[in-house]
Structure 1
């Protein structure tokens, strides 16, 4: 029998399947066919969608010379089947949009006749949390405000995902309808139980106390249930507080673990009952996150037994409790082996902790490490739900691709996946030797990341350079570097500011050589736009921020010697290094990526440069005040003229930055 020929004129018949999500998936397949196929073959073949009694999300393909029949149990069955045809035969990869895939165009493609049965994934509920989404929420990809979100949800579906938290706070309610329409289940942020509106937004003039305003809280929960009761939802129950902090930070009445646990337990039982009343077969989850995990370990929480317990990593990929300020107990975030309950994980490839995590660059730990942690999690029974903090997608495509691979039955190892990923996404423009260099660079990336601690996961993302430097600047200007920086006790518990700076200097110098080597390796790759947009860009961000941090430490050393003018210019050098990191991002905003990095407001490398410029003013005050003319004369006048002071200055006073630009090329 001749194979089925998929061409531009193949008919797609989906009338028997009426869900909007399937209609949208059919539209995407037609779009993919237009992108990859050129000829209209003289035949009358067709693809037909038919309902069949199969397990949820499973599908069957029956392929003959004239017809492909897709049998599916539900909307996602058909979505996954259509995605399978697109990827396997048209070559459209899951992250085609995010990696600017160059499509191979063909006259038509042949699909062998026979029957194909899909396999169930290892994980029942698989998805992403679009969190800290400050880049995609301010970017349109040149189309519309909604379009980037549609591309997020499409990528997740192409990865075999079925669950999403579609943004944080207001965004989650804006984009949940789009996600639902596209066929994804919805769940909720751990700080927004049941997806309800935050109490302080609804009642800004009231104290957010459940004891004082029980009816108002429950009214918000009731409204949330009513809004979502007709959608596919995994209902997140719990009670944390207003914002991403525990409620007892604002309510001193709950001063013991027992009191806190009792209130949370009672609230969860109430939320559970409210949902069950309207949705008898509802699925529930709750997050054992941060301080909640500690309460659970202490036996202070009572949770309904069919609720999926979500165990979180610490933000760096290690399945232990996260650090909260200076508190870092590293309590195991895994159920006991053999536990028959329902378990999931909230896992980070991006994290925002204002300390050392990664937000605009990829995870600073290896995929071998991630594989080990998640494989161990599965061994402990964490197979009901995986929710990955995917942030703004583009900086994290590689780890997102690897983790999506792990939730499949035929998962590749980290090494196997790396080879396939590089070949699929970078291979069109590069030969085998170049691809091998890329593999080496991606493998070596985590090895070049700064180790801020002794544990295997304690490697720094780009936030480390920015937040540590800004913490130092704050304390330096506040008390003249006379006291240690309390905000840095989480990593540098030293008795003096100078000792903390010495530790930081050593760490930065320690990693400089490895990072420079990685950068030089990345530069040997030929002209490949995706490489420049992804791995090489992220190495540049780390390299420039590290250079800025080292220059900052040199400025402090000269300050201690009271060489204020030299310190001033070194701080200017440091500011330019951080600005170079910002420029590196903005320089890669070609085509649809215009303004993608414009709202880098969390790591905010340009803010670090701005803080350094403020410190320059502090330094000028020490060394050039109170009249502020001497440095300007030394910078702009000849050596003979600057020493003759009959009139202090013949020109307007320069701003700090004007003075820096005028004198930065000289040796001070």
Structure 2
């Protein structure tokens, strides 16, 4: 048809017909758009949650947290329904092939996904923990409930509704490191706080799972485990209920604790308590067997710890009265005990290759590095190497070990009791990354177990989050990107990059009192907050006794190679362009003070601007920077007072100023005791802030004219 004829035909069309066709076209466009929109899932308050009937108790416990999250976000309670609704928005929780939807079930250890499926939101894992992680991933990604929400003193933002795209899919493949553990240790703040409420007690475990950890290091038994009905210890029981694996602390063989030795013999065996001696191996074997049976009876998922140490964090030869005195004989005892334990375990659980780990902590690291102890040839035994004590970097044993494909583990301290971080984080994501990458590389990429000493947890939340992220996404983890992302998530997108950089500058403000000796390893030696306390105590000891030394940090009683304890302070004057330790202390604190003054000034500016996460910013970064600033000033002023010797007026003035800085440090700690954390620092038994305050006060009074 020609163009002319077509134009004539159009002109002859009735106007009403034209209007009709236009209307039809508009309606088609309108309904087409609304059909696409209708495919979006709209979640509001009271949205039902369906759990597949075969899901185990730990998944249901995670769903209980999800119900709380939904209520916090929407302001209306959701309910678990017994029957899957045929239509309408619903959240479906199912493992593996228990739900057949538009996406294939995920596969692989702890893999999980969250996806939209024709009006339903599917939370699916390849296994039990995968499904648990899917639940918490949904809370974070869709509802906006952050993994650390409880610790930030900031509840999730309220929402009227949440829109989920029809093709929404977030899938997570298996983690790089199979077993990812936390060790709550030296918990002088955490333990009394947990006792205040069930919510406080559960918060630690819930946060582990929100961050996708899977293993709790600690005890399998406690005092209750020796009376009917013979339960596992409280920590192991809560971990089991939430789906966590349990493994023993490095001094607790099969999760046992010698503090319960008498309970076993008196309550279980109804016998006199035998003496704890190396020669009494039958009694030790029976003791260990009870803990294996206890774990099996209570259906714990266990990585069995083997080894031989003392009744606390000490070598066995400091506890057992019949211990040998030379390294070779000591190593021989450990070797014999470990083989007894392995044989016993295989016999009890009828498994030729049970999951086991041997932690090469402290004296074990020294014995292995010295060639005295040979690691057992067991294919399922995780060789759990440990960062060097006091300053945390891969120790000599792992650096010299000849790996041949055996499974490897690594333990790193974020907290360290006597000389490390306790009140303020110091190691940081970058140093953590360097540690684990080095060990993984040395092992031939066989790192399957990681554990970090979490201390009281609250002070180390950023580091713990970084560790959890890296252990899952090991190959792609970058500290700078993590800090930026973490800061944007908790303090708002506009401030992510700036606060991420501020975290880096805070970590770099620590005094490096000794030059590193591992090529390319940054910040190898640090003067953490506990070293400030211990250094002040050394100076106070001399001041109280009228003694003086240009190297007052020498000869600390815990600097004992026989106990595996070396490098208590590691203040090297030459590395600080100093003539002696006093000079090094002054130069080191001067450098840190200048850096911390810059960090706190920038933190003050940001604190005035941010609207999101202000409490958490003040607790986790700004407050810790101020704390370290006051500790640096206090130590510096005390060092200057120490140098005054016979100048009593000058000495008294400086001691008074040092005391003022301790008071300011205490004020910073009190400022973090808000909301559910009221009284958090009341039970300080490790740092000893009140003791230092009292000793400074006494000295100040003694010098009064």
User: Where on the TM-score scale, by shorter chain, does this alignment land: which range?
Assistant: 0.7 to 0.9
Give the distance between the partners of 2:677 and 2:121, measured in 1 at CA.
37
- Equivalence for 1:555: 641
1:400 aligns with 2:467: no
1:21 aligns with 2:94: no
Give the distance between the partners of 1:234 and 1:570, measured in 2 at CA.
54
- Equivalence for 1:612: 696
**Partner residue of 1:544 out of 630, 646, 649:** 630
Tell whether the 8 Å contact from 1:14 to 1:49 is kept in structure 2 after alignment.
yes
- Equivalence for 2:448: 384
Shift of 1:29: 0.8
Give the distance between the partners of 1:493 and 1:426, measured in 2 at CA.
39
**Partner residue of 2:335 out of 260, 265, 275:** 265
Alignment of 1:130-279 (within 5 A): 130-140=184-194, 144-166=196-218, 173-198=233-258, 202=262, 209-229=276-296, 230-250=299-319, 251=321, 253-279=323-349
1:460 alignment partner, SS class: coil
2:437 alignment partner, SS class: helix
With over 3 angstroms needed to count, the CA separation of the structure-2 counterparts of 1:585 and 1:116, relative to structure 1, is: closer
With over 3 angstroms needed to count, the CA separation of the structure-2 counterparts of 1:116 and 1:501, relative to structure 1, is: closer
Alignment of 1:65-84 (within 5 A): 65-84=118-137
Shift of 1:319: 3.2
- TM-score (ref. length: structure 2): 0.79
- TM-score (ref. length: structure 1): 0.83
Tell whether the 8 Å contact from 2:112 to 2:131 is kept in structure 1 after alignment.
yes
Question: For 1:604-661, what per-residue CA distance to the aligned partner results, in whole angstroms no more than 9, with x for missing partners?
Answer: 22222122223335x43xxx6xxxxxx3xxxxxxxxxxxxxxxxxxxxxxxxxxxxxx
With over 3 angstroms needed to count, the CA separation of the structure-2 counterparts of 1:406 and 1:316, relative to structure 1, is: farther
Give the distance between the partners of 1:273 and 1:23, measured in 2 at CA.
37
- Equivalence for 2:103: none
- Equivalence for 1:359: 422
Shift of 1:510: 3.2
Shift of 1:503: 3.1
Alignment of 1:36-55 (within 5 A): 36-38=73-75, 44-52=88-96, 54-55=107-108
**Partner residue of 2:183 out of 129, 132, 136:** 129
Residue ranges of structure 2 left out of the alignment (5+ in a row) = 1-35, 79-84, 98-106, 224-231, 266-271, 517-522, 560-566, 574-578, 609-613
Give the distance between the partners of 1:71 and 1:449, measured in 2 at CA.
44
1:344 alignment partner, SS class: strand
Question: For 1:225-269, what per-residue CA distance to the aligned partner results, in whole angstroms no more than 9, with x for missing partners?
Answer: 122112101111000112111112345742222211111111111
Residue ranges of structure 1 left out of the alignment (5+ in a row) = 322-330, 625-630, 632-668
Question: For 1:295-315, what per-residue CA distance to the aligned partner results, in whole angstroms no more than 9, with x for missing partners?
Answer: 223152342422101111125
Question: For 1:379-430, what per-residue CA distance to the aligned partner results, in whole angstroms no more than 9, with x for missing partners?
Answer: 2335210111111121111111111111123743111111111110011xxx
Alignment of 1:305-320 (within 5 A): 305=378, 306-315=380-389, 318-320=392-394
Tell whether the 8 Å contact from 2:153 to 2:675 is kept in structure 1 after alignment.
no
Question: For 1:340-396, what per-residue CA distance to the aligned partner results, in whole angstroms no more than 9, with x for missing partners?
Answer: 0010111122222x23x1111012x44223222222222233521011111112111
Count of residues in correspondence between the two structures: 599
1:480 aligns with 2:517: no
1:310 alignment partner, SS class: strand
**Partner residue of 1:417 out of 463, 468, 482:** 482
2:676 alignment partner, SS class: helix
Shift of 1:436: 4.2
Shift of 1:545: 1.0
- Equivalence for 2:533: 466
2:163 alignment partner, SS class: strand
Shift of 1:218: 2.2
Aligned CA RMSD, in angstroms, stands at 3.0
Shift of 1:170: 5.5
2:152 alignment partner, SS class: coil
Give the distance between the partners of 1:309 and 1:338, measured in 2 at CA.
10
Tell whether the 8 Å contact from 2:307 to 2:334 is kept in structure 1 after alignment.
yes
- Equivalence for 1:646: none
- Equivalence for 1:296: 368
2:356 alignment partner, SS class: strand
1:447 aligns with 2:517: no
